[in-house]
Structure 1
Amino acid sequence: MSAMQPLSRLAPSPASGRAATLTPAQKAAIIVRFLLKEGADVPLERLSDANQTTLTEAMGQMRYIDRETLANVLAEFAREIEAMGLVFPAGLAEALHALEGRISPVTAARLRKEAGVRQVGDPWERIRALDPEKLLPLLREESTEVAAVLLSKLPVPKAAELLGQLPGPEARKISYAVSLTGNVTPEAVDRIGLSLAAQFEYEAPRAFEDDPVERLGAILNIANSDMRDALLSGLAEDDAEFGQRLQKAIFTFVHIPARVGPVDVPKITREVDPDLLRTALAFALAAEDEGLRASAEFILGNISKRMAESMREEIGEAGRVKPKDGEAAMNAVVAGIGALQAAGDLELVFEEDEDTEED
């Protein structure tokens, strides 16, 4: 056989003719092969199993096509793409993904649950992103085999942390089960991931992102001191644990020396309106509450000496401040500190931080 003999005679192929003689599967194989050769990222995993099988079989049966056939197939594909006016998501899962943030979370959760669809993407990505306190119940409630797969799919530090929180016998059972996961198929792991992720996908949407303690604490921070004290006292009687947490979340003018670093005080003087700051200091210095006086002295003691003396002179000339104006001015100072904290320009010190340092 001559070395110059056409390749088509050496390896005959049903795809070696014109584009018109090709099946849709062969045309798809040509387009995919061309895109892959050009370095394009083709998400074939999003096709159904049947379509992936058909495409793979078509590619396996083909040998080569001539340049004219390739050009014709690509031109036909381009014409079909250009003729498309609008493309909709494939299936309810992708439709929900496309409408995410545009329909209510309640409606999205109900549709997802009724149709039995999952979030688009790898379920294990969402599971790995969960906090350990949400994953721990799964380890305890699921079967040993499922727990072993879950542990194997987590980042090593998180898996070690979770394992350390389990009772000894339980941790040993799961650890032994991990040694038996060598023959688990990818399909089984994917099904387990879907099942576990579904438990979190169908959680009822929350109306408030912040913790109740944080929300109520922010309100009480700028509330009238008498009302705040009365509410804290009442809440402590109704729910001691909630009242204790709320007490820690409260930050008022009197807490400034304990929770604001001396180096951050000049930032407060730049953030808060000068008139409001002077009013707050004047009211606090004249108050019977020793805590308020201590906070005012703390602020004056951690700014420049010249600025502090100027403020003391102005405070002395201003005279008595009405309680209503004084409370409002002190709340403005607290709000200014909160704004600095939210912007990352100031970090409050809490009792837990101090305890950690002592340990």
Structure 2
Amino acid sequence: MAETRSIATRSTGLPTGVEGGGFGNTSIEQMTGPQRAAVILLVLGEEHGRTIWQEFDDDEIRIITRAMAELGTVDADEVERLMLDFVGKLSSAGAVTGSFDRTISLLEKILPSDQVALIMEEIRGPAGRNMWQKLGNIDASVLANFLKNEYPQTIAVILSKIRPDHAANVLRNLPNDLSIEVVGRMLRLESVQKEALDHIENTLRTEFVSTLTQTRRRDPHEMMAEIFNGFDRQTEIRFLSALDASNQEAAERIRALMFTFEDLAKLDPAGLQTLMRQVDKDVLARALKGASQPMREFFFGAMSQRAAKNMQDDMEGLGPLRLKEVDEAQTKLVQMTKDLADKGEIVLSKGNSEDELVY
């Protein structure tokens, strides 16, 4: 545990002594955007600036107030120049409309294209007006994977700030011993000092949320695997055969990522029972009519002897079926399984509890 890193104890890299100083003779051209905004809001004061403050989200308020607190003294001439510059730009521009495309167009004239891409991809990323809302929109398994190397106390603080249902899913994805320890810490959790909370937020922003988009770009093979899952068997075979001829490696990766009817054999007994309670008996009979013997025995094993005998009779009563009818029934079972997994009612795995795949 000596190497365990902790959000709560890492430095944010902010200056510790900012009193005095100020800009002095610094021109407005050298000020950052937050510094300019801070000057304008100080000039407007409480009465005239209130409505502007109310339009900011929590992150924007923190950025501007930090710039304001570190501002020091700005010469009166510079303040006047800044206000004239601001009013002049506002009056000459007329109505201002912000949009995603217009923002990209503006940034591309100022910043390198790769930096613009990263910034705008982050904006497209997890939604939320503040850090805790953003965390609430990040997949629980992804968040748990990031937090599992943190101190239990730090994890407890973070989980106490997000939605209870999301915190529950994160706990479920943490290692068992760690999750139990975190629960204990949450039960004993007292008020957290603002400075410590700011450290956690800043580190989450710089080390996790801001870089999440770089690791969450979706593998195109995963996308194609989902598309192939929607094909009937003949179409699937046609496309995969074509891929085998032109790009065998891609075909193999897609096959490995696809979730097929045969993959239902990976369901644990509880998951299989959940699926059996949901599926229509006629659909199951059609699906099993064209299934392999091991798959039939897998489903029959989850039934009573009487129910299994009735299902076999139903299958025989269907008579000959077109392959398309069997494919449609099996696809319905696969899709139903995925839907149940998305709701957390079924866990899909590759045979061990440490390598779960939830679709």
Of structures 1 and 2, the one with the larger relative CO (CA 8 A, separation 6+) is 2
TM-score by length of 2: 0.44
Larger Rg: 1
TM-score (norm 1): 0.44
